[in-house]
Amino acid sequence: MKEILFISGKGGTGKTSLTSSFIHLADQCIACDYDVDASNLPILLKPKITSTCYFSAGQTALIDENVCNACGLCAEICRFDAIDTNLQIIPLACEGCAFCEKICPVKAIKMQPRPSGKWYSGVFNRDQTIFFAELKPGEENSGKLVAQVKTVARKMAVADQLPIIIADGPPGIGCAVISALVGVDLAVLVAEPSRSGFHDLQRIYQLLQQRNIKSTLIINKWDLNPVISRDIESWASWHMIPVAGKVPFSTLVANCIAAARVPATDSTIHKMLFPLWENIMKQLTVI
Protein backbone atom coordinates (compact mmCIF):
# COMPACT_ATOMS: atom_id res chain seq x y z
CA MET A 1 0.00 0.00 0.00
CA LYS A 2 1.30 3.44 -0.97
CA GLU A 3 0.25 6.89 0.19
CA ILE A 4 0.28 10.02 -1.96
CA LEU A 5 -0.13 13.44 -0.37
CA PHE A 6 -0.99 16.64 -2.23
CA ILE A 7 0.65 19.58 -0.55
CA SER A 8 1.48 23.19 -1.40
CA GLY A 9 2.55 25.37 1.53
CA LYS A 10 0.44 28.24 0.24
CA GLY A 11 -3.32 27.91 0.42
CA GLY A 12 -5.58 28.19 -2.59
CA THR A 13 -3.18 26.80 -5.19
CA GLY A 14 -5.61 24.09 -6.27
CA LYS A 15 -4.79 21.13 -4.00
CA THR A 16 -8.40 20.09 -3.53
CA SER A 17 -9.33 20.48 -7.22
CA LEU A 18 -6.42 18.27 -8.22
CA THR A 19 -6.70 15.75 -5.38
CA SER A 20 -10.39 15.15 -6.06
CA SER A 21 -9.67 14.78 -9.77
CA PHE A 22 -6.93 12.24 -9.28
CA ILE A 23 -9.12 10.31 -6.86
CA HIS A 24 -11.62 10.20 -9.72
CA LEU A 25 -8.93 8.97 -12.13
CA ALA A 26 -7.52 6.30 -9.81
CA ASP A 27 -9.08 2.85 -10.11
CA GLN A 28 -9.07 1.87 -6.50
CA CYS A 29 -8.09 4.13 -3.67
CA ILE A 30 -8.94 5.48 -0.26
CA ALA A 31 -9.49 9.23 -0.11
CA CYS A 32 -8.29 11.26 2.87
CA ASP A 33 -8.58 14.90 3.82
CA TYR A 34 -5.89 15.98 6.29
CA ASP A 35 -6.97 19.61 6.26
CA VAL A 36 -8.86 19.12 9.49
CA ASP A 37 -9.63 22.75 10.19
CA ALA A 38 -11.08 23.53 6.77
CA SER A 39 -11.96 20.23 5.20
CA ASN A 40 -12.96 20.75 1.57
CA LEU A 41 -12.53 17.41 -0.19
CA PRO A 42 -15.93 16.11 1.04
CA ILE A 43 -17.65 19.13 -0.52
CA LEU A 44 -16.57 17.90 -3.95
CA LEU A 45 -16.77 14.13 -3.38
CA LYS A 46 -20.13 14.39 -1.55
CA PRO A 47 -19.80 11.19 0.47
CA LYS A 48 -22.60 9.56 2.38
CA ILE A 49 -21.36 9.57 5.98
CA THR A 50 -21.20 6.03 7.36
CA SER A 51 -19.68 6.73 10.77
CA THR A 52 -18.93 9.68 13.01
CA CYS A 53 -16.48 9.48 15.90
CA TYR A 54 -15.79 12.04 18.58
CA PHE A 55 -12.17 12.92 19.03
CA SER A 56 -10.70 14.16 22.23
CA ALA A 57 -7.09 15.14 22.74
CA GLY A 58 -5.45 17.02 25.51
CA GLN A 59 -7.07 18.36 28.63
CA THR A 60 -8.47 21.53 30.15
CA ALA A 61 -8.09 22.58 33.76
CA LEU A 62 -11.20 22.89 35.93
CA ILE A 63 -11.17 24.63 39.31
CA ASP A 64 -13.47 23.30 42.04
CA GLU A 65 -14.63 26.52 43.67
CA ASN A 66 -15.72 24.71 46.83
CA VAL A 67 -12.16 23.57 47.46
CA CYS A 68 -10.21 26.56 46.10
CA ASN A 69 -8.82 28.90 48.77
CA ALA A 70 -8.08 31.63 46.23
CA CYS A 71 -4.34 31.72 46.91
CA GLY A 72 -3.73 32.64 43.25
CA LEU A 73 -0.65 30.44 42.81
CA CYS A 74 -2.14 28.79 39.72
CA ALA A 75 -2.66 32.13 37.94
CA GLU A 76 0.87 33.12 38.85
CA ILE A 77 2.57 30.04 37.39
CA CYS A 78 0.40 29.64 34.26
CA ARG A 79 2.44 30.67 31.24
CA PHE A 80 -0.51 30.73 28.89
CA ASP A 81 -2.50 33.41 30.75
CA ALA A 82 -5.29 30.86 30.96
CA ILE A 83 -6.35 31.77 34.52
CA ASP A 84 -7.70 35.29 34.96
CA THR A 85 -7.59 37.55 38.02
CA ASN A 86 -10.90 36.12 39.29
CA LEU A 87 -9.29 32.68 39.13
CA GLN A 88 -11.50 31.55 36.26
CA ILE A 89 -10.08 29.24 33.59
CA ILE A 90 -10.10 30.59 30.04
CA PRO A 91 -10.58 27.34 28.08
CA LEU A 92 -9.37 28.77 24.74
CA ALA A 93 -6.05 29.76 26.30
CA CYS A 94 -5.52 26.60 28.37
CA GLU A 95 -2.97 24.28 26.75
CA GLY A 96 -3.63 21.42 29.15
CA CYS A 97 -0.14 21.24 30.69
CA ALA A 98 -1.60 20.44 34.15
CA PHE A 99 1.06 22.52 35.91
CA CYS A 100 -1.71 24.21 37.93
CA GLU A 101 -3.24 20.86 38.90
CA LYS A 102 0.09 19.66 40.24
CA ILE A 103 1.05 22.84 42.07
CA CYS A 104 -2.32 23.65 43.70
CA PRO A 105 -1.73 23.38 47.47
CA VAL A 106 -5.35 22.36 48.22
CA LYS A 107 -5.83 20.11 45.17
CA ALA A 108 -8.74 22.18 43.86
CA ILE A 109 -7.84 21.73 40.19
CA LYS A 110 -8.68 18.67 38.10
CA MET A 111 -7.84 18.14 34.46
CA GLN A 112 -10.79 17.30 32.20
CA PRO A 113 -10.67 15.61 28.80
CA ARG A 114 -11.16 18.14 26.07
CA PRO A 115 -13.44 17.48 23.08
CA SER A 116 -11.40 18.58 20.06
CA GLY A 117 -13.45 17.55 17.08
CA LYS A 118 -14.91 14.71 15.09
CA TRP A 119 -13.70 12.41 12.37
CA TYR A 120 -15.85 10.75 9.78
CA SER A 121 -15.79 7.95 7.29
CA GLY A 122 -18.02 8.10 4.28
CA VAL A 123 -18.75 6.38 1.00
CA PHE A 124 -18.74 8.09 -2.38
CA ASN A 125 -18.89 6.83 -5.92
CA ARG A 126 -20.86 3.78 -4.71
CA ASP A 127 -18.02 1.89 -3.04
CA GLN A 128 -15.07 4.19 -2.40
CA THR A 129 -14.19 5.30 1.11
CA ILE A 130 -13.18 8.72 2.34
CA PHE A 131 -11.87 9.70 5.78
CA PHE A 132 -11.97 13.30 6.93
CA ALA A 133 -12.29 15.31 10.13
CA GLU A 134 -13.51 18.53 11.63
CA LEU A 135 -11.49 20.22 14.32
CA LYS A 136 -13.54 22.45 16.62
CA PRO A 137 -12.77 26.11 15.86
CA GLY A 138 -9.97 27.41 18.05
CA GLU A 139 -8.70 23.99 19.09
CA GLU A 140 -5.16 22.76 19.25
CA ASN A 141 -4.09 19.24 18.46
CA SER A 142 -4.76 19.42 14.74
CA GLY A 143 -1.68 17.22 14.35
CA LYS A 144 -3.18 14.53 16.55
CA LEU A 145 -6.47 14.58 14.66
CA VAL A 146 -4.56 14.23 11.38
CA ALA A 147 -2.72 11.26 12.86
CA GLN A 148 -6.04 9.72 13.87
CA VAL A 149 -7.46 10.05 10.34
CA LYS A 150 -4.25 8.60 8.92
CA THR A 151 -4.31 5.62 11.26
CA VAL A 152 -7.86 4.59 10.36
CA ALA A 153 -7.25 5.11 6.64
CA ARG A 154 -4.11 2.97 6.70
CA LYS A 155 -5.82 0.23 8.66
CA MET A 156 -8.63 0.08 6.16
CA ALA A 157 -6.27 0.13 3.17
CA VAL A 158 -4.40 -2.86 4.59
CA ALA A 159 -7.57 -4.75 5.56
CA ASP A 160 -9.25 -4.23 2.19
CA GLN A 161 -6.00 -4.63 0.24
CA LEU A 162 -6.39 -1.30 -1.49
CA PRO A 163 -3.22 -0.24 -3.29
CA ILE A 164 -3.24 3.47 -2.63
CA ILE A 165 -4.29 6.29 -0.30
CA ILE A 166 -4.73 9.68 -1.97
CA ALA A 167 -4.71 12.52 0.54
CA ASP A 168 -5.39 16.24 0.42
CA GLY A 169 -2.94 18.09 2.69
CA PRO A 170 -3.36 21.16 4.88
CA PRO A 171 -1.69 24.48 4.01
CA GLY A 172 1.40 25.70 5.84
CA ILE A 173 4.41 23.85 7.23
CA GLY A 174 3.37 23.52 10.89
CA CYS A 175 2.06 20.76 13.11
CA ALA A 176 -0.81 19.58 10.87
CA VAL A 177 1.51 19.32 7.85
CA ILE A 178 4.27 17.58 9.80
CA SER A 179 1.72 15.06 11.03
CA ALA A 180 0.26 14.60 7.52
CA LEU A 181 3.72 13.75 6.14
CA VAL A 182 4.25 10.72 8.37
CA GLY A 183 4.65 7.58 6.27
CA VAL A 184 3.91 9.32 2.96
CA ASP A 185 5.55 7.64 -0.04
CA LEU A 186 5.22 10.48 -2.51
CA ALA A 187 4.35 14.14 -1.98
CA VAL A 188 2.82 15.92 -4.96
CA LEU A 189 3.76 19.58 -4.70
CA VAL A 190 1.05 21.81 -6.14
CA ALA A 191 2.52 25.21 -6.98
CA GLU A 192 1.01 28.28 -8.53
CA PRO A 193 3.28 30.55 -10.56
CA SER A 194 3.17 33.57 -8.27
CA ARG A 195 5.97 35.03 -6.19
CA SER A 196 4.30 33.90 -2.99
CA GLY A 197 3.50 30.47 -4.48
CA PHE A 198 7.18 29.96 -5.40
CA HIS A 199 8.37 31.24 -2.00
CA ASP A 200 6.04 28.87 -0.12
CA LEU A 201 6.94 25.96 -2.41
CA GLN A 202 10.58 26.28 -1.39
CA ARG A 203 9.70 26.18 2.30
CA ILE A 204 7.50 23.10 2.02
CA TYR A 205 10.19 21.40 -0.11
CA GLN A 206 12.74 22.10 2.63
CA LEU A 207 10.44 20.31 5.08
CA LEU A 208 10.13 17.33 2.68
CA GLN A 209 13.91 17.13 2.49
CA GLN A 210 14.21 17.16 6.28
CA ARG A 211 11.79 14.25 6.44
CA ASN A 212 13.35 12.45 3.48
CA ILE A 213 10.15 12.31 1.45
CA LYS A 214 10.21 11.95 -2.33
CA SER A 215 8.29 14.53 -4.31
CA THR A 216 6.99 15.42 -7.73
CA LEU A 217 5.73 18.79 -8.90
CA ILE A 218 2.60 20.09 -10.60
CA ILE A 219 2.51 23.73 -11.68
CA ASN A 220 -1.13 24.73 -11.58
CA LYS A 221 -2.49 27.61 -13.68
CA TRP A 222 1.02 27.87 -15.16
CA ASP A 223 -0.01 30.17 -18.02
CA LEU A 224 -1.07 32.93 -15.62
CA ASN A 225 2.61 33.73 -15.28
CA PRO A 226 4.86 31.85 -17.74
CA VAL A 227 7.97 33.66 -16.45
CA ILE A 228 7.68 32.52 -12.82
CA SER A 229 6.47 29.16 -14.10
CA ARG A 230 9.77 28.78 -15.98
CA ASP A 231 11.69 29.85 -12.86
CA ILE A 232 9.91 27.15 -10.87
CA GLU A 233 10.78 24.57 -13.53
CA SER A 234 14.46 25.44 -13.46
CA TRP A 235 14.43 25.39 -9.66
CA ALA A 236 12.81 21.93 -9.84
CA SER A 237 15.38 20.57 -12.26
CA TRP A 238 18.19 22.00 -10.09
CA HIS A 239 16.79 20.06 -7.15
CA MET A 240 16.05 17.05 -9.37
CA ILE A 241 12.33 17.17 -8.62
CA PRO A 242 10.46 15.49 -11.48
CA VAL A 243 7.69 17.64 -12.95
CA ALA A 244 4.53 15.55 -13.31
CA GLY A 245 3.01 18.24 -15.46
CA LYS A 246 1.71 21.73 -15.92
CA VAL A 247 -1.98 22.59 -15.81
CA PRO A 248 -3.20 25.69 -17.65
CA PHE A 249 -5.73 28.05 -16.12
CA SER A 250 -9.18 26.92 -17.15
CA THR A 251 -12.58 28.43 -16.57
CA LEU A 252 -13.89 24.86 -16.84
CA VAL A 253 -12.18 24.00 -13.54
CA ALA A 254 -13.51 27.17 -11.93
CA ASN A 255 -17.02 26.33 -13.13
CA CYS A 256 -16.78 22.82 -11.69
CA ILE A 257 -15.66 24.17 -8.30
CA ALA A 258 -18.47 26.74 -8.35
CA ALA A 259 -20.90 23.86 -8.91
CA ALA A 260 -19.15 21.73 -6.22
CA ARG A 261 -18.19 19.09 -8.81
CA VAL A 262 -14.97 17.13 -9.15
CA PRO A 263 -13.19 18.86 -12.09
CA ALA A 264 -12.13 15.56 -13.73
CA THR A 265 -15.77 14.56 -14.21
CA ASP A 266 -15.62 16.98 -17.15
CA SER A 267 -14.25 15.07 -20.14
CA THR A 268 -11.94 17.89 -21.31
CA ILE A 269 -10.32 18.19 -17.89
CA HIS A 270 -10.20 14.40 -17.62
CA LYS A 271 -8.20 14.26 -20.85
CA MET A 272 -5.93 17.09 -19.71
CA LEU A 273 -5.13 15.55 -16.31
CA PHE A 274 -4.78 11.92 -17.34
CA PRO A 275 -1.12 12.14 -18.47
CA LEU A 276 -0.23 13.83 -15.16
CA TRP A 277 -1.80 10.97 -13.26
CA GLU A 278 0.20 8.46 -15.33
CA ASN A 279 3.37 10.39 -14.49
CA ILE A 280 2.55 10.37 -10.78
CA MET A 281 1.92 6.61 -10.90
CA LYS A 282 5.23 6.11 -12.71
CA GLN A 283 6.98 8.05 -9.94
CA LEU A 284 5.27 5.91 -7.36
CA THR A 285 6.32 2.61 -8.91
CA VAL A 286 10.02 3.50 -8.83
CA ILE A 287 9.86 4.19 -5.08
62 scored as a contact of another protein (CB under 8 A): no
Minimum CB distance to another protein smaller for 39 or for 283:
39
Least separation in angstroms between CB 201 and another protein? 10
- DSSP symbol at 11: S
Is residue 45 at the binding interface for another protein, with CB under 8 A as the rule?
Answer: no
Residue count, binding to another protein (CB under 8 A) = 59
Stretch that binds another protein, among 139-147, 151-159, 263-271, 276-284 (CB under 8 A): 139-147
Contact assessment for residue 241 and residue 215, using Cβ atoms and an 8 Å cutoff:
yes
The 3-class secondary structure across 174-199, one letter per residue, is CHHHHHHCCCCCEEEEEECCCHHHHH
Using CB under 8 A as the binding rule, whether residue 263 contacts another protein is answered as: no
SS3 label, residue 32: strand
Is position 250 an interface residue for another protein (rule: CB under 8 A)? no
Work out which of 49, 71, 92, 106 binds another protein, going by CB under 8 A.
92
Least distance CB 203 / another protein (angstroms): 6
Which string of DSSP letters, residue by residue, matches 254-280? HHHHHTT--GGGSHHHHHHHHHHHHHH
The region of 48-56, 221-229, 235-243, 263-271 touching another protein under the rule CB under 8 A is: 221-229
Amino acid at 69: N
Sequence-distant (6+) residues with CB within 8 A of 243 are 216, 217, 218, 219, 233, 236, 237
Report which DSSP code applies to 224. G
Footprint of another protein on this chain (CB under 8 A)?
9-13, 16, 37-38, 40, 43, 58-59, 77, 79-80, 92, 95-99, 102-103, 111, 135, 137-140, 142-143, 170-178, 192-197, 199-200, 203, 206-207, 210, 224-225, 227-228, 257-258, 260
